[in-house]
Every structure is written in C-alpha cells, then in structure tokens.
C-alpha cells in the first residue's frame, strides 16, 4: 500500500496567518492527491482534488501544489472557520490511503 | 440536494455481525462508485471498501477482507456493508462516500453523516 505522511501532526496559528501543511507519498502518485477538511463530529469535506484543483464553493484562500511524492496545502490567511483537521488522500492506487491528519488549532 | 444517510450502527459483541446501510438521494446513484471509510474514536480516516457502479467489482482493505462484504441495490439507491466476525478494533464511525470522477481524477465529494459501530462485551 502507498503510505501517506503528513506534517506537522498539529500546529497552532492565529487568524490571518499563512499556514502550510505537507504530505509525502511513499511512491510517486503523479497528481492523484486530494485534501479534506474535517471539523469535530462532522464528515470530511473536499477542498482540493488532483493536487491543485479547487473544489467548487471552497474559498480561494485554500490552494494545493505538488506532484510525484511531495504535496502542499496552503491557507493564505487563516480564518476562524478554518480551525479543523486536514487530511491528504491518494487516489492513485485501488487501495486508497489517507495521511494521518494535521490539526490546526488556535494560538 | 445530495444526501447520503447511513444507518445500522450500534453496540455489538466481539464475533458478532452488523449490516450498515447508506441511503442515497439527489444523485444518480447507479452511476457512481461508492466507498466505505471509517474513523476510530480520536483517530484518522481509513479506507475500508469500494464497489463499482453496477456492483460487479469490489475491493477491501486487508484489515477487513474476508469479514466484510460491500454490496448495493441500485433500484433502492442503497449501499450496504455486511460486517461479520467483528473485533474491538473495528470500533469506529463508518462513513459512506461517493467517488466523483472529474477530468481523469477521483475524489470523495459527498459523505454521509456517519454511523457509530462499537464492538465490546
């Protein structure tokens, strides 16, 4: 199976900060990388698909980049509603795998 | 409006069985691959199983292979997960999710609210 490693596992940031989360795949996955946001008690919500495509309705402060094995999710200016846990997920393989998650907390 | 509504979760003893259901509305259910993803309490997301649009092809995570069976009834717009020989480590919220295809890429665009399965004596 393809292993997905996210870093950091948690971070503290303030409203207005620029936040970057990284995701590394154990083998090349081209651009088959998606990002999700999950709030407590809620189902995940897709933010970015195909590494850099913004899902309809998602604010433009979210962006994704990367290809091959290294990927980045960036929040350009953190808003109060962005405090949540973020997961990357590869769809290159039949056996889908998620990163371990990055919890973004209020500083 | 797209809705996926899971049901069937609950408390079950180790070795027991449960069948989860996911009722879909607002989508052409029969056109989409569907998946189950689970999340143990306080832990991350883990893919469990998938089924193609007509139900002829299925795949499973190694951790559930031989114990879980995914199926669907397109006439009823419903996805199922039959879970047998349940273990404590199967305790989790189980989500059904639609696998969207866009420009050559797949991603989960709609999720249910989740149903909690607790395996304990």
pLDDT tens, residue by residue, A33-88:
999 999 999 999 999 999 999 999 999 999 999 999 999 999 999 999 999 999 99
Task: Check B108 against A89: CB less than 8 A apart.
Answer: yes
Contact list, A97 vs chain B (CB under 8 Å): 47
Instruction: Give yes or no for residue A20 having a pLDDT over 90.
Output: yes
**Which residues have a Cβ under 8 Å from the Cβ of A12 and sit 6 or more positions away?**
A105, A106, A107
Chain-centre distance for alpha carbon B121: 24
The residues in B 67-86 lying below 8 A from A, measured between CB atoms, are: none
Does B102 contact A at CB distance below 8 Å?
yes
Please report residues of A whose CB lies closer than 8 A to that of B108. Answer: 34, 36, 44, 46, 89
Residues 6+ apart with CB under 8 A from B82: B17, B19, B68, B69, B70, B71
Question: Are the Cβ atoms of B108 and A31 closer than 8 angstroms?
Answer: no
A43: its two tokens: 């189902």
Q: Which of B35, B107, B111 sits opposite A34 (nearest CB)?
A: B107
- Cβ-based contacts under 8 A for chains A and B: 60
Residue-wise DSSP of B93-120: EEEEEEEEEETTEEEEEEE---EEEEE-
Mutate to test the interface with B, among A29, A31, A43, A87 (most CBs of B within 10 A): A43
**Selection from B99, B80, B87 nearest residue B33 by Cα:** B99
Rounded to a whole number of angstroms, the distance from the CA of B80 to the nearest CA of chain A is 18
User: Which has the closest alpha carbon to B81: B66, B91, B69?
Assistant: B69
Is B111 within 8 Å of A32 when comparing Cβ atoms? no
Contact list in B for residue A53 (CB cut-off 8 A) is 102-103, 105
Inter-chain CB proximity A34 and B102 less than 8 Å: no
How would you write the pLDDT of chain B (121 residues) with one tens digit per residue? 999 999 999 999 999 999 999 999 998 999 999 999 999 999 999 999 999 999 999 999 999 999 999 999 999 999 999 999 999 999 999 999 999 998 899 999 999 999 999 999 9
């Amino acid at each position: 199976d393809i292993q997905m490693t996210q870093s950091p596992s948690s971070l503290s940031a303030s409203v207005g900060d620029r936040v970057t989360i990284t995701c590394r795949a154990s083998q090349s996955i081209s651009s088959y990388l998606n990002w999700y946001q999950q709030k407590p008690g809620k189902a995940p919500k897709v933010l970015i698909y195909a590494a850099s495509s913004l899902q309809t309705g998602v604010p433009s402060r979210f962006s994704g980049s990367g290809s091959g094995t290294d990927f980045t999710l960036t929040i350009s200016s953190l808003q109060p509603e962005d405090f949540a846990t973020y997961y990357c997920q590869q769809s290159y393989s039949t056996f889908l795998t998620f990163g371990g998650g990055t919890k973004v907390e209020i500083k | 409006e797209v809705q996926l509504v899971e049901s069937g979760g609950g408390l079950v003893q180790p070795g027991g069985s449960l069948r989860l259901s996911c009722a879909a509305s607002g989508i052409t259910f029969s056109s989409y691959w569907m998946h189950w993803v689970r999340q143990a309490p306080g832990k991350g997301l883990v893919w469990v199983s998938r089924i193609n649009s007509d139900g002829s092809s299925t795949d499973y995570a190694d951790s559930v292979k031989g114990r879980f069976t995914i199926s669907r009834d397109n006439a009823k717009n419903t996805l199922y997960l039959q879970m047998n020989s349940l273990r404590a480590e199967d305790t989790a919220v189980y989500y059904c999710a639609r696998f969207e295809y866009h420009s050559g890429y797949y991603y989960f665009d709609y999720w249910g609210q989740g149903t909690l399965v607790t395996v304990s004596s």
